[in-house]
Chain A
Amino acid sequence: MRAGATRAFLVLLVLAVLFALPRLTGNEYVLALGVSFAMFSVLASGLNLVYGYTGLLSFAQVGFFGIGGYTAALLVTERGWNLGWAATAGGALAALVGLVIGYSSLRLSRHAFAIVSLSFALLCMIVARDWVSLTRGAMGIPGLPVPTLGFMGREWRLSRPADFYYLLLGFAAAAHALMYLVVSSRLGRAMRAIRLNEPLAQSQGIDPLRYKLLALALSALLAGMVGGLFVFYLTIVDPSIFDFYYTETMLIMVILGGPGSFWGVLASSAVLAALPDLLRFTTDLRMVLYGAVLIAAMLLFPGGVAGWLARRRWQRWRSPRVSPS
């Protein structure tokens, strides 16, 4: 109980600092990094839910992200919707699509799902580029207007970068709270059981399909919603939102943090969202490094940083303190 209270206190402290940041510094770059962190952490934690907890390798996250972005953009510009509803609709559509591809392919196998998720992401890119009447094609939808959010009768116009910072950080916090509730509940334990040993879990009365779909739908919903919010920060949505580069980055965040570790992935997404920019590595070298990390992780550290820390703890616990005479 003591450890739990300390952790809760730390989390609240960090959140307080993060939310106070715009007041403490007028530096817009810090805010931009914050937005980037908020976005990536939601995507990576969603992927963690699907891959780390339930054990499904999925390439579809970026597809859900982009679907949310395009849907929200179109609803606001074409139908004059309020941002809150538009982003929610984007998330809902993404979740629906996720359920469809999940249901049809998971009945077969995890491998089928992995490949279907990959082709789904590729198809999204093609549709975004070529269904010009729907998505405006390669030009994308530029000049997205300053959005407004209706909030208990009052309207909030998001005209400053600090506004987007608060919005995205707030959303990320809520999303993570929701995901934390799921993973620390019976649902989370069931998912972990499915990943560790699916037939055994089934024999215990857990219906794997239901939990896999739940994880998928939840991650898709959150990815879609954050996409809907993010594109308004950029003021433009174009097919590059489906770039494979996002998938690669998300995967690195999950692998490095440790698949199945809620805090590990959160920490690694914070580090990886901010560090590369601070280090000013050229992107080529950065991607080479990511690739090398991925290879090393698969060969040596399948559990990521969190897994390595956990193993060390176990080893220390196990090591004999008395030397054999």
Chain B
Amino acid sequence: MRIMRLIAAAAALAALAYAELAQSQEGPILIGASIPLTGGVSTFGQHSRWGAELAVSEANAKGGVLGRKIEVDFQDNRCNPAEAVKSVTQMLSEKKYVAIFDGLCSSAALAIMPLVERAGVPFVVANASATSIAERSGVGGNKWTFKVNPTDLSMLDALVGWLDKEGKAGNIAFLGEDSDFGRAGSTGLETALKKRNLKLASVDFFQKGTADFTPVFTKIKARKPALFAIYAVDADFQNAMRQWYSMGGGVPLTGRVLVDQVPKEIMDSGFLDGTTSVQPYDPSVDTPGNKAFVEAFRKLHNVPPILVSFESYEAMKVLIDAIRRAGKADPAAIRDALATAKMPSMLGTVIEFDDHNLAHNNAIILTIKGGKVMVVGMSKT
């Protein structure tokens, strides 16, 4: 028994020593990522991870960057700022990560921002929606944080502009999930409408995890709005769509409807025809870059990418591109390279950061016609 324990201990020590040794040599370039791998929004964390990993494996297949392979270390933050602080502090203290990636939830990203500033490591935000992230970055603020995905405010401005052209923006009812995502939606719509001297006809929120939307749908339908903006994701969105269908609908949908996740039957029936949605991404965008991306993603994971996967994919590509241009795996140099980024996006635009370290990629305006999703416009955010 004793001997066994000694052998096991010796083996463990040897393994540890080997790992240390391997690490100290010219190893891969390490990027740290903090995403919700568990908890209520883990589906998004999963897709963010898949998107980032695809970008990394594509770069590694071409020989990596600066002659070294890239490796991403994913840590769980459960969409909780306390966990995010703990996981990112750990990664930063190990001093081997050249950049921190994502955060995913706004509250997590906001909590990470002061940490990266103190440690002097760049932080690339791919998915968080809070406007305050960009407001606090760049000039006069946190110079280490860069936000690749557009703000809700700008996307909704584009949508409202579109709807207003068709004279439909005056009577929109809003239903959103009670989270930073949903609240950003209502404030974004209200701000965009105010600019045109309009306002939302009604505003309602539901708790995440609500299974039953029939009461609130009945209420909204009774008010007879011209458009219905719905901000729901994941299981809530699935439940909402099915229940909306069984109630007969009757009002065209708008907002950030997840048109790529509508159940096939509902889509095919033409029930949602007339929906207008704005998203930072849709799998049906017709550019060669996107087609290749969707196919590669599908082959690996058997499901098409969602917008979170795309956002992480492109944000990771931006980061990898910056590392290459920086010429060395030094966080400060990478930060400077990020500030001067000019990378082409799969949406046909060029990603570059403004003086608040915010990129202004195109928002895509989608509509559903004949049971199919169609891109009807792209708008700079």
- Contact between A and B in the complex (any CB pair below 8 Å): yes
* Residue contact B110 to A32, C-beta cutoff 8 Å: no
* Residue contact B111 to A277, C-beta cutoff 8 Å: no
Q: Is B136 an interface residue (CB 8 A)?
A: yes
Contact of A137 among B81, B85, B114, B183 (CB under 8 A): B183
Distance between Cα atoms of A21 and B226 in the complex (Å): 63
Do A234 and B85 form a contact, CB below 8 Å, given A142-B132, A282-B37, A283-B39? yes
Task: Of the listed stretches B87-95, B217-225, B243-251, B255-263, name the one at the interface; the rest are far from the partner chain.
Answer: B87-95
Q: Is A130 an interface residue (CB 8 A)?
A: yes
Distance between Cα atoms of A139 and B131 in the complex (Å): 10
Distance between Cα atoms of A240 and B83 in the complex (Å): 11
Contact of A32 among B37, B90, B107, B111 (CB under 8 A): B90
* Residue contact A236 to B89, C-beta cutoff 8 Å: no
* Residue contact A235 to B80, C-beta cutoff 8 Å: no
* Residue contact B94 to A29, C-beta cutoff 8 Å: yes
Query: Which residues from chain B contact A243 at a C-beta distance below 8 Å?
Result: 80
Distance between Cα atoms of A210 and B186 in the complex (Å): 48
* Residue contact B82 to A139, C-beta cutoff 8 Å: no
A284-324 vs B, CB cutoff 8 Å, 1 = contact: the mask equals 10000000000000000000000000000000000000000
User: How close is A24's CB to chain B, nearest CB, in angstroms?
Assistant: 14
Contact of A138 among B82, B111, B114, B183 (CB under 8 A): B183
Query: Which residues from chain B contact A33 at a C-beta distance below 8 Å?
Result: 86
* Residue contact A238 to B93, C-beta cutoff 8 Å: no
* Residue contact A240 to B81, C-beta cutoff 8 Å: yes
User: How close is B233's CB to chain A, nearest CB, in angstroms?
Assistant: 14
Query: Which residues from chain B contact A202 at a C-beta distance below 8 Å?
Result: none
* Residue contact A277 to B38, C-beta cutoff 8 Å: no
User: How close is A217's CB to chain B, nearest CB, in angstroms?
Assistant: 26
* Residue contact A36 to B86, C-beta cutoff 8 Å: yes
Query: Which residues from chain A contact B207 at a C-beta distance below 8 Å?
Result: 126, 129
User: How close is A159's CB to chain B, nearest CB, in angstroms?
Assistant: 9
Query: Which residues from chain A contact B118 at a C-beta distance below 8 Å?
Result: 161
User: How close is A95's CB to chain B, nearest CB, in angstroms?
Assistant: 23
Task: Of the listed stretches B64-72, B143-151, B174-182, name the one at the interface; the rest are far from the partner chain.
Answer: B174-182
Q: Is B297 an interface residue (CB 8 A)?
A: no
User: How close is A107's CB to chain B, nearest CB, in angstroms?
Assistant: 32
* Residue contact A130 to B90, C-beta cutoff 8 Å: no
Q: Is B205 an interface residue (CB 8 A)?
A: yes
Q: Is A207 an interface residue (CB 8 A)?
A: no
Distance between Cα atoms of A143 and B130 in the complex (Å): 13
Do A277 and B179 form a contact, CB below 8 Å, given A29-B93, A238-B81, A283-B37? no
* Residue contact B205 to A139, C-beta cutoff 8 Å: no
Query: Which residues from chain A contact B76 at a C-beta distance below 8 Å?
Result: 282-283
Closest residue of B by beta carbon distance from A159 = B118
Contact of A283 among B78, B106, B110, B119 (CB under 8 A): B78
Q: Is A84 an interface residue (CB 8 A)?
A: no
Main secondary structure of the interface of B (DSSP, over half): helix
Distance between Cα atoms of A233 and B81 in the complex (Å): 11
B154-189 vs A, CB cutoff 8 Å, 1 = contact: the mask equals 000000000000000000000000111011100000
Q: Is A27 an interface residue (CB 8 A)?
A: yes
Q: Is A140 an interface residue (CB 8 A)?
A: yes
Q: Is A9 an interface residue (CB 8 A)?
A: no
Query: Which residues from chain B contact A36 at a C-beta distance below 8 Å?
Result: 86
Q: Is the interface on chain A under 10, 10 to 19, 20 to 34, or 35 or more residues?
A: 20 to 34
* Residue contact B205 to A130, C-beta cutoff 8 Å: yes
User: How close is B121's CB to chain A, nearest CB, in angstroms?
Assistant: 12
* Residue contact B38 to A283, C-beta cutoff 8 Å: yes
Contact of A236 among B37, B38, B78, B107 (CB under 8 A): B107
Q: Is A245 an interface residue (CB 8 A)?
A: yes
Q: Is B79 an interface residue (CB 8 A)?
A: yes
A30-62 vs B, CB cutoff 8 Å, 1 = contact: the mask equals 111100100000000000000000000000000
* Residue contact A236 to B111, C-beta cutoff 8 Å: yes
User: How close is A132's CB to chain B, nearest CB, in angstroms?
Assistant: 8
User: How close is A44's CB to chain B, nearest CB, in angstroms?
Assistant: 16
Distance between Cα atoms of A283 and B38 in the complex (Å): 6
Query: Which residues from chain A contact B38 at a C-beta distance below 8 Å?
Result: 282-284
* Residue contact B79 to A32, C-beta cutoff 8 Å: no
Distance between Cα atoms of A86 and B90 in the complex (Å): 29
* Residue contact A32 to B178, C-beta cutoff 8 Å: no
Distance between Cα atoms of A130 and B206 in the complex (Å): 10
Do A240 and B85 form a contact, CB below 8 Å, given A138-B182, A140-B107? no
Contact of B130 among A129, A139, A240 (CB under 8 A): A139
Distance between Cα atoms of A161 and B110 in the complex (Å): 17
* Residue contact A27 to B93, C-beta cutoff 8 Å: yes
Query: Which residues from chain A contact B106 at a C-beta distance below 8 Å?
Result: 139
Distance between Cα atoms of A305 and B86 in the complex (Å): 27
B29-40 vs A, CB cutoff 8 Å, 1 = contact: the mask equals 000000001110
Closest residue of A by beta carbon distance from B90 = A29
B13-45 vs A, CB cutoff 8 Å, 1 = contact: the mask equals 000000000000000000000000111000000
* Residue contact B178 to A130, C-beta cutoff 8 Å: yes
User: How close is A158's CB to chain B, nearest CB, in angstroms?
Assistant: 12
Query: Which residues from chain B contact A142 at a C-beta distance below 8 Å?
Result: 107, 110-111, 130, 132
Distance between Cα atoms of A32 and B86 in the complex (Å): 6
User: How close is A300's CB to chain B, nearest CB, in angstroms?
Assistant: 25
Nearest 5 A/B pairs, CB to CB = A29-B93, A32-B89, A142-B110, A283-B38, A28-B93
Interface residues of A (CB under 8 A from B): 27-33, 36, 126, 129-130, 132, 137-140, 142-143, 161, 230, 233-236, 238, 240-241, 243, 245, 277, 282-284
Q: A28-B119, A283-B38, A283-B39 are in contact. List 14 more A-B contacts (CB 8 A).
A: A28-B92, A29-B89, A29-B90, A31-B89, A33-B86, A132-B183, A138-B183, A139-B184, A142-B107, A234-B81, A235-B110, A240-B81, A240-B107, A282-B38
A-B contact pairs, 20 of them (CB 8 A): A28-B92, A29-B92, A30-B93, A32-B86, A33-B86, A130-B178, A137-B183, A138-B182, A138-B183, A139-B132, A139-B183, A140-B81, A142-B132, A233-B85, A238-B107, A277-B86, A282-B37, A282-B38, A283-B39, A284-B38
